[in-house]
């Protein structure tokens, strides 16, 4: 794996990296904790267990196709119901190999994976980022943010924005309604759960008009959360909304 070339910028990412340096020397794999050459790397075993998503893909939701289909194809789901966002891309498949890595990051014991995750995500979204004016994370409600102390999506978004040289606005959207965790909900339940949960931060409303915005999250599941964000951004006058996640679920 090439070393993540992320220059650490945001306070959150810097804190994550410092935490690692404080107690995890010598360098350990971001997945299993085996010794590795440098901080922020995955060992060969963890690295090769991950499925990196590559073309051919649905041009809209980014779901990988099993066979080469020619350029510009959409998957049946996107034909049946076009998503609220323009395009979604993700770095790795959310499966039994990536799950532990991502949950560890989400729940705070593997924050030092942020630079690696950001560099994988930025690579997967290179095409989207080229056209982007603003990168922003899916926001957490302030109560959850207080409890968890950091927003894992914002750690990835900060790194992605830095790598791509795009403005990062972590508070562009606000989550003004606390929503129950979506872990066990159906797609319809998820959509209902997040409907009306987000609003534009009035301080940044002017920046949204005419901008292409990339919304960053850790995992794309049903797409309900990012779709709710996309609808608010479009109503605010965004010229385009793309979605970039570290991982995505692929349904058979």
Q: Which residues contact Zn ion by CB under 5 A?
A: 29, 31-32, 34, 43, 46, 58, 60-61, 63, 75, 78
Nearer to Zn ion, 60 or 211 (CB): 60
Q: Closest approach of Cβ 1 to Zn ion, in Å?
A: 11
- Which is closer to Zn ion, CB of 78 or CB of 167? 78
Please identify, using beta-carbon distances, which residue of 60 and 121 lies nearer to Zn ion.
Answer: 60
CB nearer to Zn ion: give 78 or 145: 78
Minimum CB separation of residue 234 from Zn ion in Å reads 19
CA distance 82 to 98: 28
Identify which of 227, 160, 161 has the alpha carbon closest to the alpha carbon of residue 198: 227
Q: Which two tokens stand for residue 203?
A: 């301080």
Least separation in angstroms between CB 89 and Zn ion: 11
Helices 114-124, 152-164: axis angle to 10 degrees equals 60
Q: Which residues pair with 77 in a beta bridge?
A: none
Residue 143 CB, nearest approach to Zn ion (Å): 34
Q: What whole-number distance in Å separates Cα of residue 159 and Cα of residue 5?
A: 10
For residues 34 and 206, which CB has a smaller minimum distance to Zn ion in the complex?
34
Nearest approach, Cβ of residue 46 and Zn ion (Å): 3
Distance of alpha carbon 252 from alpha carbon 248, whole angstroms: 13
- Residue 41: CB minimum distance to Zn ion, A: 9
CA geometry: angle 63, 230, 152, nearest 5 deg: 75
Residue 146: partners with Cβ closer than 8 Å, 6 or more residues away: none
Between 6 and 30, CB nearer to Zn ion: 30
Q: How far apart are CA 193 and CA 20, in angstroms?
A: 35
């Amino acid at each position: 794996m090439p070393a993540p070339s992320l220059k650490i910028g945001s306070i959150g990412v810097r804190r994550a990296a410092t935490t690692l340096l404080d107690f995890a020397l010598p360098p350990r794999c971001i997945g299993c904790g085996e010794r590795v050459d440098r901080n922020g790397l995955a060992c060969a075993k963890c690295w090769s267990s991950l499925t990196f998503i590559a073309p051919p893909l649905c041009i809209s939701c980014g779901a990988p196709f099993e066979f080469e289909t020619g350029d510009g194809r959409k998957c049946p789901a996107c034909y049946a119901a076009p998503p609220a966002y323009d395009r979604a891309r993700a770095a790795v498949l959310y499966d039994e190999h990536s799950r532990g890595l991502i949950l560890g990051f989400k729940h705070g014991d593997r924050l030092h994976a942020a630079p690696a995750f950001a560099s994988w995500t930025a690579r997967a979204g290179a095409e989207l980022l080229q056209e982007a004016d603003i990168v922003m994370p899916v926001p957490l409600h302030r109560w959850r943010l207080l409890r968890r102390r950091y927003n894992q999506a914002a750690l990835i978004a900060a790194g992605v924005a830095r790598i791509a040289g795009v403005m990062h606005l972590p508070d562009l959207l606000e989550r003004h309604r606390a929503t129950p965790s979506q872990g066990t909900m159906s797609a319809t339940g998820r959509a209902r759960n997040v409907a009306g949960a987000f609003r534009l931060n009035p301080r940044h409303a002017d920046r949204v008009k005419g901008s292409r915005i990339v919304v960053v999250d850790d995992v794309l599941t049903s797409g309900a959360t990012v779709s709710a964000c996309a609808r608010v951004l479009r109503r605010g006058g965004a010229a385009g909304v793309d979605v970039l996640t570290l991982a995505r679920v692929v349904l058979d």
